[in-house]
Structure 1
């Protein structure tokens, strides 16, 4: 199973007024989660829920599923 971000999450957060500095200082999202987003790694369910709350969207708006190729 391969989940991927459909959008640049950090850019979308910045458009909503959430810079990485603000996210970190106000403890909205942990530093490790911000680093995962920079690297394109997937957050856990709680992190995805926080992103959806901040971006006012549903998980399907920011995530896509790509099935693994069958051998």
Structure 2
């Protein structure tokens, strides 16, 4: 998948958001979190919007496009 969420995972860790806290505070769904962690599947724009609001950032701060050389 050409969209990578490594920046998001680093930002979550930096701001103290664990998997437990994300689930407890119902920030995003478990399935969305799993998609982000595995890099498989599409993330809804509402999820991206909610993450940006919670983390006080822009979409470019949490994801990046990486060209897939196999395509």
CA apart distance, 1:45: 0.3
Q: Corresponding residue for 1:53? A: 53
Normalised by the size of structure 2, how large is the TM-score?
0.71
1:27 and 1:44, CA in 2 relative to 1: closer, same or farther beyond 3 A? same
1:56 and 1:5, CA in 2 relative to 1: closer, same or farther beyond 3 A? farther
Q: Corresponding residue for 1:32? A: 31
When you count strand as a share of all residues, which structure comes out higher?
Answer: 1
1:28 and 1:43, CA in 2 relative to 1: closer, same or farther beyond 3 A? same
Runs of at least 4 residues of structure 1 off by over 4 A?
Answer: 66-69
Equivalent residue pairs, number:
69
Matches of 1:57 and 1:5 in 2, distance apart?
16
CA apart distance, 1:27: 1.1
Q: Corresponding residue for 1:9? A: 8
- Let me know the Cα RMSD of the aligned residues: 2.4
1:13–1:54 CA contact under 8 A, matched in 2? no
